[in-house]
Structure 1
Amino acid sequence: MKRLSRPGERFKKTPINSRQGTKITEQATQAKRKKASLFSLLHLLLRQAVLRQFFVVVSICFCFRSAVAVGEEVTAVKFQQEGVPRKDTLLRYLGDFPGMTAITICFRLNLRQYRDIDIILSYAVPEEPNELVIAFVHGTQTILVQYCGSVGENLTYPVPLRQWIPVCVVLDLRARFVELLFEDRVERFGLRDSNNTCHGLRGGGNLVLGQDQDAYNGGFSNVRRDFEAVNVEFEQFQEEDYCLAEWNNILIFPEPRTFEEAIHFCNISGGAITVPTSEEANQLIFNKTTRYAEFCNIGYVDSFWLGVKGIVTSQTWNHYITGKVLQYTNFVLEETSVKEPFTCMSFVGNKNAIANQHGGWSVTDCRYLRCPICQQEKVFLLKARGLCKESHFDRQYFLTHDKGWITFTGIYYSTITRYFPSPCENGDTRAYDFWQLSRPDKPSVKATLQTDSPYDYPFGRHTWTVENDVCGRTNVTILITSCKDGQFSCNDGSCVDIEHRCNLEIDCRDESDEMDCEFLTLDQSYNSDNPPPRTNASSPVSVKLSLDIYAIRSIDVGEFRFTCDVEVTTEWFDSRLQFRHLNNASTLNSLNRKERQPWTPKLELLGDGRTTSDVTARRGSLNIRRYAGPLEDNDEEAQESEVFLGSENSLLQVQKFTVATSCQFGLEKFPFDTQKCSMIIKLSDITKNYVRLVADADSVVFSGRRGMLQYQLVQEKIIEKDMGDYSMVEVQLYLENLSTFYITSTYVPTLIIVVIGYLVFFFPINNFNERIMVGLTGLLVEATFFSQVNSSIPNTAYMKLVDIWMVFCILILFQVVVSVVIIHYFRDMKTWPVHTNLAVVNSVKRPGGEEERRRNTSQQVNKLCQIITPLSIAVFLVVYIILATTTQN
C-alpha cells in the first residue's frame, strides 16, 4: 500500500512527564533575587502540542512589547519532528539558576493538539522535583502554577488550539500574589498558601522546557550553547507570522464539484466558501490555491469556486450566504453581466495563467466542476460519535492539509487519513481506496472505511471496520459531524435543527431526519400488565383524567336515557421508561404504531346509579407529552438522539367514545325542570392503593352546542369518588329545560282560552246561549290541549307542573260555565211554571218587584265572578311562577 498523505509523523500518547510539543514564543524569564540584581532567563520555550510538528519560538521580544523590529526573524524550535512522543525531546537551561522570591515568565503558545496536561516549564531542585511548574490542564480549562512542591494555583483560562497566545505569569512569594496576562487580559490573584510556608524558590536547580521532571536533573544530555537541545530542530520565523492572533484557515477540497456540492462540503466541514474582501485577501487565497492547481486541473485556469452568487433581476454580485452586494471584486473580463445559468464565480488559482489574471474572478456556469475553497474563521472541531467511552480513538477532529489532501487530526492522538492502493500488475490503479483512523502510538489500533468514489469523505454516518479497539466490536457505525449542540446530523453530514427530528417533515436531503423515529423502545423485561412503580408505599400512582364532551346527541326523557360523544384523556408518568427525540407537540410523538405498548389505564364508563352504559369506541391514540428537557447527549450513539426520562415526561392516552347511558330524570317541575345526569368513569383492574384517578374542577369541558331541542346544558362538574377498592370520577351534567317552547305552544294558548272564557262575564246577562256556548267551547279546547300535551311528555304517576297548569285551566273554564248557569238560574229559571204549555207561560203575569230582585241578584253574581275569577287566576300564577322558578333538588 502506498499512502499519499503525510509521511510517518504521528503522535503517541505519552505519560505526564513526556508531553508533546506546542508552539511557544519564549519572551523572557526574569527573576528577582533577595539582595541580588535582576536575573533574566533568556530563552524560554514550550512543549506539548499535537501536530506532526510543533514549535517553540525562542526570542527576547514580545509581540505586545516588542524588542525586535518588525520583519526580523526569530528562532523557532520544532519538537518531535517524527510525531512520536518521547522523553528525550526538550530544552534545558544551562545557566545558573539563583534562588528567588519573585519570578516573571513570558512566552507565546501555539497548541497543535491537546493532552490531559501540557507541561510548559518544570524547575526542579534536589529537595523537590516540582519546585516550579507551569502547565495547561485541558480538562478543567485552567492554567496551573505550582510552586514549592505542593502549593498550586488553578487559574481558569481556556486555551484555544492552533492559535498564538501570549502568556505572562508573575509569581511574587514575598507579596503573596500571582499575576497572569493571558491574551489581552491581566488579572491578579492572592496566593492560597495561608500558612505562608513558601518564601522563595531555591536556586541551583534544573530548568526544563517541554517535559515534567520526576527527579532533579533527570538524565538529559547533549549540551548546546545556552540550552541543551535534544532531538529538536531550529527554524527561523518572521515575527509577524507568530504575532497573528486570528485563526484564518483555508481548506481546499482537491476534487472538482458543482457549486451546490461545493456549498455542501464547506458546510459539513464547518466552514463556508471563501469570498475575498480585499486585494491582500485575494492574493493570500491565490498563494494557497497554486499549491492545489495540479489536483484541481480540469483544463481551465479558473479551477476554484468563490462564494459569490449573481442576481439576474438586480444585475449584482452578492455574497452567497448574507446576500450583501460585494464591495470588492477582481474580474478577469470586462463582461460581468448576470445571465442564467452563469450566476456563479470561479477563481484563477493557477500560476500557469497569464500574470495579470492571477487571482482573477470569472463568471461561470454553476453546473461546471470546480474545487471549493472553504474558509474557517476559527478552529472548528468535528465530532466523532458512535465510539464507546473507553475507545482509544479521539472524539474531536480538525481538518488539515497534507501534501494536497485533507486529513482529519484528532485533538489528542488520532488521525484519519486517505490511503491509495499500489498499482496492480496490469498497470491499472483505482483513484480511491479507503480512509483509515489510526493512532501513531498504537499502530495495531485502527479503523478502516471503504469508499466507493474518490469524491467520498468520511463525513456523515458510515460503518467502519475496527481492529483492536477496547470496545470489542468489529463493525462500528461512526458519525463524523460538524453539527453543534441542538442540531441533528443527517447521514450525509449536513445539519438541521434537532427540533425537526421526527416531526413528519423532511429536512435532510437524504431524509434521514425521519428515519428510525421510534419514540419508545421497550426492554424485554418490561411488563405491560403492571402499572408504574409507586414512589412510596402510601402514595399511589396518579392518573390525571380530563374529559371533553363534544356533543350531546340526544336526550330521551321517555326512556330516561341520553347519548353523548366524549373524549377521555388520561395522563401519567412511568419511571420505567425512556423516550427519544420528543417534539414539543405531543400529537407528533405517537406510539400507535408500536407492536408492544406500555401500560395504560383501563377505564369503564357507567351511568346513573352505576348502571351499565353502551359504549362505542370511535378512535384512540397514545402519545408522549414533553415537559422536561433531554438528558445530556451521549456521543456513544452514532446519531444525536435526545433521551427523555419517563419520570419527567408523561404518557398521554386520548380515547373518543359514543356513550349511551341512563339518567334518572325528575319531571315534577316539567317543563321548568333542571335535570342532573351523571356519567361515572371507573378505573378497573387495579385498586386505588396502586393507581388513582385525579381530576380537578377544570378537568371537564363541553365544546359542543349547549342548546338542544328540548334541553340546554348549563353546567358540568367532575368529582372524585371511590367505588369500593377502585378509584373513579363522576361527571355531572346539569340540563335546563327549554321551556320557551311550552310557554308559546301550551301556556299562552291555554291562558288565552281561559281569558276568552272569562270574557263571557261581560256578555249581556240575558244572552245565555252565547255565554254558555263560549264557556263550553273553551272547556272542550282546554281538554284537547291537555290530551295533546300528555301524549308528548312522559307519563308519570305524579303531577307535573304542566299537568297542574292544564288542570287549573280546565277548572277555571268549568267554573265559568257553572257561573254562567247559576247567573242564568238567578235571572230566569225561577219564573218557569210547572206546566210547560207556552201559552200558559206567556199568559202568566209576573209581578214587577220579584223580577227586578232576581235581575239584580244575577247581576251581582256576574259582577262577583268578574272580580273573583281574575283574582284567583292571578294568585295561581304567582304561586305557579314561584314553584317553576324554585331550584329543583
Structure 2
Amino acid sequence: MMPVVRFQQDGLVRSDTMLRYLGDLNDLTQVTACFRVKFYQARNIMPFISYATVKSDNEFIIVYIYDTRRIQFSCCGDVLMRVEIDLAQQQWISMCMAVDLLVGRWRLVSNGHLQEGVVSSNTGATPTITGGGILIIGQEQDAFNGGFDKFQSLRGSLADLKLYEGFLDTTQLISYTLCESSSVSTPSTIHFSNIHQDFEAINVEIEEIDLNTVCLNDSSIDVLFPELRTFQECEVLCHMSGGRLSAPQNRKENRQLYKQTLAYSNTYLDKGTVTRRVYWLGVKGDTSTQKWTYSNLPIAYSNFIKGTSSTIISKSNCVLFQGTIVSVVGVYGEWTPKNCDFKAHTVCHFDHIVTLRMRGLCRRSKFDRKYLMIEDGLFPKFVGEMFSEITRLPASVSGPKSSSDYGIWKIVRKDIPTVKATLVLKSPIQYPVGLNTWEVEDAECGTGAVQLMMTSCKDHQFSCTNGQCINIGQRCDLEVDCSDFSDEEQCSFMDPPEGYDSSKPPARQHRHTPISIGLHINILTIRELDISNFKFVCEIVVTLEWYDDRLKYFHLNYAETINVVSNITDVWIPTLEYLGHGDTTSEVTERKVTLWIRRLSQPLPDDDEILIEGEVFTGAENLLVLKRKMTVTTLCRYNLEAFPFDTQTCALGMVLSHVSSQYVALVPQDGGVTLTGERRMLEYLLVDEQMVTDNKSEDVCRVFFPQGNHSGQTMELTFKNLSTFYVFSTYLPTLIIVVIDYLVFYFPLENFNERIMVGLTGLLVEATFFSQVSSSIPRTAYLKLVDIWFVFCIVSLFLVVVTVAIVQWLQDRYQCKFTFTLKDRGNSVVLRVGNIKSMVSQPKRRVSAQGINLAAKIVFPLLAAAFLSLYISVALRD
C-alpha cells in the first residue's frame, strides 16, 4: 500500500488545493522526477511540480499543457523543453522525466515508452536550479509561494512521487514506469513515504492505495447498468456507449465478472431497487450452425449450466450470466440460454475508456463537449474532459413522484452553477447517449429546449441512430451501412444560407477578373442535316461548371453523380441563349437537367455545433456541375457550289444572357467539345468539331454578341459529303451513257439509223437522269458541281448527235443515185438504186464524212479527259 493524493475530488475548479513541500531543495544541475498520475478532468495547464524562488516563479516546473498535448519542462530562466505526448484521462499513467543540465540532454518515459532529446541554453553557461525555494505540487506558481490560478491546477490523483538529485539511466526509468519489482535503487530526495510530515496538505484527500491497482496495465473495463432490458436493448445501449456486451473469454475473466457483479449486487441491488441478479452476455446462438458466437465468431470458452446448451432454438438463443446465484460450490457465474425478449441487467465491456462527444451545443457554450463514462454508485456518470459532469438524479429529487416520473439526467458545472441542462427521462432505461432533447440554461447561448447528441463515434465517423459507428464517407452514398438505415436519411447535399439570392451570380474575387463558367459540349448525335431547309438538328449535353463561394455543401462523395442537388432553383444557374446563323434563335427542346457537386477538396474541420455528423465543404473549392441534355434545331447557311463533293461548316453560338462579360465569362473546358456519337450520317461525315471564340471565315457561323456585352462561345462542326453514293448512283451511270454514245463513232457510216437512235436515246436518258437527280437535291440559283456534270454530259451527248448528223449529211451529199427503166411490150418498170457510190471520179473534197467521224473519235475523248481532270481537281480541292 502507498499514499495517493486526490486533488479537487469534489470537481470544483479551485486555486487552493495543493501539496506544499516543507523542506528545502538544493542547487541542482541534474534532476529526475517520477510519479504516477490519474487525471479526472483536464485544466488548461496541469502542474505536477512547480518550484519557485524569490527571483523566479518558474525556477523549475513540470506541467502538462492540455490543448497542445505536451509535457513542458522549464528552469533557470532560459531552459524550455516541450515533448508531445497524449495522456489519457481516468486511467493511471506512470512517468519519469530526467534532465541533465550539465551535458544538455533529457529523457521522458511514459508506461515504458522512451523519448529523449537535447536541452539547450540561450546564455551558453551551465544552467542551475537554485535551491532554497518553494516546491508546490498540484498548483502552478505565478509568484513566489502564490499567484495561483484555478485554471492552472491539477484535478486527479497523484501517487508514488519521487524527486532525485541526479540523472537516472534509461533502465531505471523504464523499470519504474512498468512497475517492475527492481524499480529504482537510487535514493530519492523528495518522496511520499512520509507525506504527512514532509508536506502541507491543503484541501486534498490522502488515501492508501494498492500498487497493483495503480500499475494495472489493462485499460479495458466492464460497466454495469442496473436497469432491466431485453437483449437487443442492451446491445443498443452498449453500442451507443462505445462498447459491446461483455462475454468472458476464459475462466479467470468469468470469475472476475462474477466478483464484480456480486459486489455490485451486494452494494446496490439488495437494497430493494432491483431483485433480479442476472445479466445479459454478448453470446448469441446460431440456429443454423448450432454454435454459440461472440462478435460473429464461435466462442472458445463457456460456462453453461450442465445440459442447457446442447440445442440452440430460436426462442432461447441468447445467454444470461447468473452473477449472484451459485448452484454448485466452486462454480462462479453460470451461463444459461434464455429468450432474447427476457429482461435482465446489462454488462458492457469497453476495450478502453471511451470518449463520448456532445454535439449540438452552441459555439460559446460553457459545457464540455467530450465526456468519459465511469462507474459512480448505482448509475454510471459522465465526466467532462474539463469542467462538466452529467449525473442521474432519482425521481424523488427531481420533483413530486408520479407513475411517469423516472428522474432526470443533469449537466452541471460546479464552478458556474447557473450553467446547467436537464434531460427528463421518458423511461426508466433512458440514458443521455444518442439524440435527446435537453432543457438548457446558459447565459451565453440562451435558455430553452435544445437537441443534443452524445455519441461514442470518433472523428471521421458517423453515428447511426442505433449507436453503430460507420466511416463518415459512407453517409449518403446510396448504400445502406447502418442497420437502421439512418446513414441514408437527411441527405441534402446543399442548403443555401439565409439571404442567398439565386438571381445574382457569385461575387468576383478580383475587381477586374470575371467569374469563370466552364463550358463543355458533348455531341451525342447529329440527328439531321437538312440541306433543303438550311438547318441541322443535334442531340447534345451542355456542361457548365462554376464555383459559388456563398454556398456550403455536405457529405460529398467522390462519385459526383451521387451528389445531386434536388432543387436547382435554390441556387444561381447560368442561362445560355443558343443562336444560329444570322443571330437567329435556335429551337431548343430540353430533355433532362441535372445539377450536382463535384468534390475537389477535403472537408472542413468537424464542427460539433452541427447536431448530426457530416462533412462540410466550401463552395469556393468545390464545383457546381450543371448538365443539360437537349435537342437543338438551328439555322445553318450551306454553300452547295461543290455539291456533292462539298464540305459544310455549321455553328451553334452560346451566349450568357442577363449578365455582363465583365462579371461572368464562358471558358471552354477540355477542348470545349467532344463527340461520343456516330460521325457518319446518311449523306455527310462529321470530320471536325471545335470551340472557337473568333470569326474564322465569312462562310461560317460566327460568335454572336451583337445585342450587348455578353460572353459567349461558338461550336463549329465541319461535315464532309459522303460523295461515294453520288459517284456510283449518278456519275458512273451518266458517264457510261456518254461512253455508249461515243461508241456510235465506231458504227459503220451506212448504219445511220442505228447511230442516230443510240445518240438520241442516250440524250433522252441523260435528260431524264438530270431531272430525277435535280428533284432530290437542294435547288439553288447557282450551279453546283453536280449540275455542271450533267451540263457536260448533256452537251457531250448533244454534240455526238450533231456530229452523227453532220457525218450523214456529208455522206449523202457525195453519193450518186442511178435509175434503171425496163420496158417490155409497152409496159415499163422503174428500178432505182440508191447509196451506190458513183463509179466516176468525184471532185476533190475538203472534208469527207470519214474524216469527220475519225476526228470525232479523237477529239471527244480528249475534251472529256480535259474536263474530267479539271472537274476532279475542283472536287478534290473542296
TM superposition score category, shorter chain reference: 0.7 to 0.9
What amino acid is the match of 1:186?
A: L
What amino acid is the match of 1:244?
A: L
- 1:236-264 superposed Cα distances (whole Å, 9 cap, x missing partner): 33332221223111123333434333332
What secondary structure sits across from 2:570 in the alignment? coil
Match of 1:674 among 625, 639, 647: 647
Inter-partner Cα distance in structure 2 for 1:239 and 1:534: 67
Provide the residue aligned with 2:157 in structure 1: none
Q: Displacement of 1:642 after TM fit?
A: 2.8
Q: Percent identity?
A: 41
Going from structure 1 to structure 2, the CA distance change for 1:785 and 1:91 (only over 3 Å counts) comes to same
What amino acid is the match of 1:122?
A: S
Provide the residue aligned with 1:807 in structure 2: 791
Q: Identify unmatched segments of 5+ residues in structure 1.
A: 1-72
Task: Establish whether residue 877 from structure 1 lines up as the match of residue 852 from structure 2.
Answer: no
- 1:58-105 superposed Cα distances (whole Å, 9 cap, x missing partner): xxxxxxxxxxxxxxx333344444444555543333344333332222
Provide the residue aligned with 2:514 in structure 1: 540
What amino acid is the match of 2:869?
A: V
What secondary structure sits across from 1:821 in the alignment? helix
Q: Identify unmatched segments of 5+ residues in structure 2.
A: 149-193, 695-702, 822-828
Higher mean displacement: 135-144 or 309-318 = 309-318
Contact kept, 8 Å, 1:591 with 1:597, in 2: the verdict is no
Match of 1:227 among 195, 199, 213: 199
Provide the residue aligned with 1:362 in structure 2: 336
Task: Establish whether residue 886 from structure 1 lines up as the match of residue 872 from structure 2.
Answer: no
Match of 1:707 among 680, 704, 718: 680
Match of 1:160 among 75, 78, 88: 88
Q: Displacement of 1:702 after TM fit?
A: 2.5
Going from structure 1 to structure 2, the CA distance change for 1:426 and 1:105 (only over 3 Å counts) comes to closer
Task: Establish whether residue 551 from structure 1 lines up as the match of residue 517 from structure 2.
Answer: no
Q: How does 1:191-340 map to 2 (within 5 A)?
A: 191-196=119-124, 199-216=127-144, 224-292=196-264, 302-306=278-282, 308-320=283-295, 323-334=296-307, 335-340=309-314
Q: Displacement of 1:198 after TM fit?
A: 6.4
Task: Establish whether residue 758 from structure 1 lines up as the match of residue 736 from structure 2.
Answer: no
Higher mean displacement: 396-405 or 706-715 = 706-715
Contact kept, 8 Å, 1:551 with 1:566, in 2: the verdict is yes
Provide the residue aligned with 2:358 in structure 1: 384
Match of 1:374 among 324, 341, 348: 348
Q: Displacement of 1:545 after TM fit?
A: 1.1
Inter-partner Cα distance in structure 1 for 2:547 and 2:676: 27
Contact kept, 8 Å, 1:348 with 1:357, in 2: the verdict is no
Q: How does 1:826-865 map to 2 (within 5 A)?
A: 826-831=810-815, 833=817, 839=830, 841-842=832-833, 846-848=837-839, 858=849, 861-865=852-856
What amino acid is the match of 2:279?
A: S
Task: Establish whether residue 774 from structure 1 lines up as the match of residue 758 from structure 2.
Answer: yes
- 1:782-829 superposed Cα distances (whole Å, 9 cap, x missing partner): 100001111111222221111122122222322332333344444445
Provide the residue aligned with 2:456 in structure 1: 482
- 1:326-361 superposed Cα distances (whole Å, 9 cap, x missing partner): 333333334434443544333332245444542333
What amino acid is the match of 1:471?
A: C
Provide the residue aligned with 2:151 in structure 1: none
Match of 1:411 among 385, 391, 408: 385
Inter-partner Cα distance in structure 2 for 1:414 and 1:491: 25
Contact kept, 8 Å, 2:586 with 2:635, in 1: the verdict is yes
Contact kept, 8 Å, 1:546 with 1:569, in 2: the verdict is yes
Going from structure 1 to structure 2, the CA distance change for 1:846 and 1:247 (only over 3 Å counts) comes to closer
Going from structure 1 to structure 2, the CA distance change for 1:514 and 1:277 (only over 3 Å counts) comes to closer
Contact kept, 8 Å, 1:707 with 1:713, in 2: the verdict is yes
Q: How does 1:439-478 map to 2 (within 5 A)?
A: 439-478=413-452
Going from structure 1 to structure 2, the CA distance change for 1:187 and 1:232 (only over 3 Å counts) comes to same
Task: Establish whether residue 76 from structure 1 lines up as the match of residue 50 from structure 2.
Answer: no
Q: Normalising by the residue count of structure 1, what TM-score does the alignment of the two structures yield?
A: 0.83
Inter-partner Cα distance in structure 2 for 1:298 and 1:305: 19
What secondary structure sits across from 1:536 in the alignment? coil
Going from structure 1 to structure 2, the CA distance change for 1:786 and 1:499 (only over 3 Å counts) comes to same
- 1:193-242 superposed Cα distances (whole Å, 9 cap, x missing partner): 2204664333333333223345555699x993333344544443333222
Provide the residue aligned with 1:567 in structure 2: 541
Contact kept, 8 Å, 2:578 with 2:586, in 1: the verdict is yes
- 1:404-443 superposed Cα distances (whole Å, 9 cap, x missing partner): 3121111112111122212999986556232111122333
Q: Displacement of 1:874 after TM fit?
A: 3.6
Inter-partner Cα distance in structure 2 for 1:424 and 1:80: 27
Q: How does 1:461-610 map to 2 (within 5 A)?
A: 461-491=435-465, 493-503=467-477, 507-508=481-482, 512-593=486-567, 597-610=570-583
What secondary structure sits across from 2:114 in the alignment? strand
Q: Displacement of 1:590 after TM fit?
A: 3.7
What amino acid is the match of 1:662?
A: L
Inter-partner Cα distance in structure 1 for 2:484 and 2:145: 61
What amino acid is the match of 2:500?
A: Y
Q: Displacement of 1:486 after TM fit?
A: 1.9
- 1:590-616 superposed Cα distances (whole Å, 9 cap, x missing partner): 44426x633322221111132232333
Inter-partner Cα distance in structure 2 for 1:280 and 1:790: 103
Match of 1:620 among 593, 618, 632: 593
Going from structure 1 to structure 2, the CA distance change for 1:815 and 1:453 (only over 3 Å counts) comes to same
Provide the residue aligned with 2:663 in structure 1: 690
Going from structure 1 to structure 2, the CA distance change for 1:799 and 1:844 (only over 3 Å counts) comes to closer
Contact kept, 8 Å, 1:695 with 1:719, in 2: the verdict is no
Higher mean displacement: 749-758 or 615-624 = 615-624
Inter-partner Cα distance in structure 2 for 1:81 and 1:173: 36
Q: How does 1:776-795 map to 2 (within 5 A)?
A: 776-795=760-779
Q: Normalising by the residue count of structure 2, what TM-score does the alignment of the two structures yield?
A: 0.84
What amino acid is the match of 1:480?
A: M
Going from structure 1 to structure 2, the CA distance change for 1:715 and 1:129 (only over 3 Å counts) comes to closer
Higher mean displacement: 268-277 or 844-853 = 844-853
Q: Displacement of 1:589 after TM fit?
A: 3.5
Match of 2:726 among 742, 753, 762: 742
Inter-partner Cα distance in structure 1 for 2:561 and 2:330: 63
Going from structure 1 to structure 2, the CA distance change for 1:865 and 1:333 (only over 3 Å counts) comes to farther
Q: Displacement of 1:523 after TM fit?
A: 4.3
Inter-partner Cα distance in structure 2 for 1:691 and 1:843: 94
Match of 1:660 among 633, 649, 667: 633
Inter-partner Cα distance in structure 1 for 2:743 and 2:649: 43
Q: Displacement of 1:273 after TM fit?
A: 2.5
Contact kept, 8 Å, 1:163 with 1:246, in 2: the verdict is no
What is the alpha-carbon root mean square deviation over aligned residues?
3.4
Higher mean displacement: 100-109 or 178-187 = 178-187
Provide the residue aligned with 1:820 in structure 2: 804
What secondary structure sits across from 1:877 in the alignment? helix
Contact kept, 8 Å, 2:269 with 2:275, in 1: the verdict is no
Contact kept, 8 Å, 1:134 with 1:145, in 2: the verdict is yes
Contact kept, 8 Å, 1:301 with 1:353, in 2: the verdict is no
Contact kept, 8 Å, 2:236 with 2:466, in 1: the verdict is no
Inter-partner Cα distance in structure 1 for 2:817 and 2:493: 107
Inter-partner Cα distance in structure 1 for 2:783 and 2:371: 91
Contact kept, 8 Å, 2:520 with 2:670, in 1: the verdict is no
Match of 2:319 among 345, 355, 370: 345
Provide the residue aligned with 2:697 in structure 1: none
What amino acid is the match of 1:418?
A: R
What amino acid is the match of 1:304?
A: W
Inter-partner Cα distance in structure 1 for 2:820 and 2:686: 68
Provide the residue aligned with 1:54 in structure 2: none
Going from structure 1 to structure 2, the CA distance change for 1:771 and 1:433 (only over 3 Å counts) comes to same
- 1:265-307 superposed Cα distances (whole Å, 9 cap, x missing partner): 222211222333222222222222334557699987653222x
Q: Displacement of 1:617 after TM fit?
A: 3.4
